[in-house]
A and B are shown apart, each in its own frame.
Chain A
Amino acid sequence: MRCDALWPVGLPCMVLTAGEARSAQEERWGGLLAAAQAGDSRAYDTLLREVTPRLRQLARARIRDAAEVEDAVQDALMTIHALRHTYDPTRPFGPWMTTIATRRAIDRLRRRGRGAGRESDLDDLPEGAAAVAPVAEERIAARNLRDAVAELPESQRTALRLAKLEDLSLAEASARSGLSVGALKVATHRAMRSLRRRFGVEEGDERADR
């Protein structure tokens, strides 16, 4: 049917056809999932690749951070996989997928909310602790940081741990480590400098990052 015969004005007609296109697409996805339930892995691969942009869109509606969005998309894909037997091919596919994607996005937000609650304390720590603590949104970055700290000389590592991570005063740290206050200062400073250099952070940049 020609659309402009019914609607001389372009816009409502476009909305209508977009809706139709969407429902046709969802019908196709429902069919693909039904085939996947029977074990058709090619149909399943096609389905997951085709729904991913929509999952991303649904996640982005709730989450701003791009890495976090991608995690939510992957969670949604894994949930679709785990729940693929709960889809009834006689029913629309859209709401089924939307509930799953929305749930996973909300879970991400909650988990992140809890994490942020713990992380906020670190802002009160002295300068530099922020750079050592999980600056790393991604686990990989945290891992790299741990490795880098592990490679520091023993004295620098001790100084960093006592002064920056355990937040002891220099006097306490000196008493605990047996190093003089001056030596602690130098070791901490050197440790921070080598970490900064290693991660390509300019001097004075590390707080602006957070």
Chain B
Amino acid sequence: MQTDELISRLSQGLTPVRRVTPPMRAALGWLALAFGVVAVAVALSGFRHDLEHRLMLMHEQVNMVAALATGAAAAVAAFHLALPDRSERWALLPLPFAAFWISGLGWGCIAEFVERGWPALGMSLGCMSFIIGFGLPLTLGMLWMTRHAARIRPGPVAALAGLAAAAIASVGLSLVHHLDAAAMVLIWHGGSVLLVMLLARRWGARAMQAMRP
């Protein structure tokens, strides 16, 4: 087909379109949804029995705030990156928060090691299924909201969506689940978040393609 002909075809019968929601507003909308979903899950599961005690601990507060900041920054970055005219450097936004979060957990591991020797490491599949179970649907929700990125940069947007969803699920999990050892938190929370992010990176582009109008 000739380019001229293509242009005529595209412009004939043009229908009005509704502009996409500005990225900041979309990010806030998605975050509100994510908080809602995770809050319901937390309410249904009940708080961990030692929540009050844990929340008094400085490092616990820092960890939760860092995870929350990582999730929020990743959401903001994803919605910006999904638009063609925004800089690719938006992808870097969650990095400092994520680094802070992970280094906090790592520091916890070292402190525990000094204090008690190797902490007892156990399986915590419950943690994993909580983060994946809430992380993946919330990721899909964001991919649906950013599906216009399918033709621009689907991979990075999907990875950020996975990071945002899993980080917020992890905050919810800290309120529910009992994990004392920082090493276990690092492995099971951090590992699950990474897993959701990698899954999103791997399959997100395909999911966006499928959701494209």
Contact = CB atoms under 8 A, between A and B. Distances in A.
Contacts of B6: 74, 77-78
Contacts of A84: 17
Interface string A87-109: 11001100110011001000000
Interface residues of A, number: 33
Interface string B1-35: 10110111011111111111010000000000000
A74 B152 CA distance: 16
Given A48-B7, A86-B20, A95-B85, 11 more contacts: A36-B14, A39-B14, A49-B4, A77-B6, A85-B20, A86-B82, A87-B85, A88-B83, A88-B85, A103-B84, A103-B151
Interface of A: 36-42, 44-45, 48-49, 52, 70, 73-74, 77-79, 81-88, 91-92, 95-96, 99-100, 103
Interface string B135-161: 000000000000010011100000000
Interface residues of B, number: 27
B205 to A, nearest CB: 12
Interface string B160-173: 00000000000000
Contacts of A87: 19, 85
Interface of B: 1, 3-4, 6-8, 10-20, 22, 82-85, 148, 151-153, 212
Name A's interface SS. helix
B188 to A, nearest CB: 38
A78 B15 contact: no
B102 to A, nearest CB: 31
B3 A73 contact: yes
B145 to A, nearest CB: 12
Contact of B10 (A38, A42, A48): A48
Nearest to A39: B16
B14 A99 contact: no
A83 B152 contact: yes
A13 B85 CA distance: 29
Contact of B85 (A39, A48, A92): A92
Given A37-B19, A48-B7, A74-B1, A91 B85 contact: yes
Contacts of A79: 151
A190 to B, nearest CB: 37
B152 A96 contact: no
B10 to A, nearest CB: 5
Given A37-B19, A39-B16, A99-B152, A86 B10 contact: no
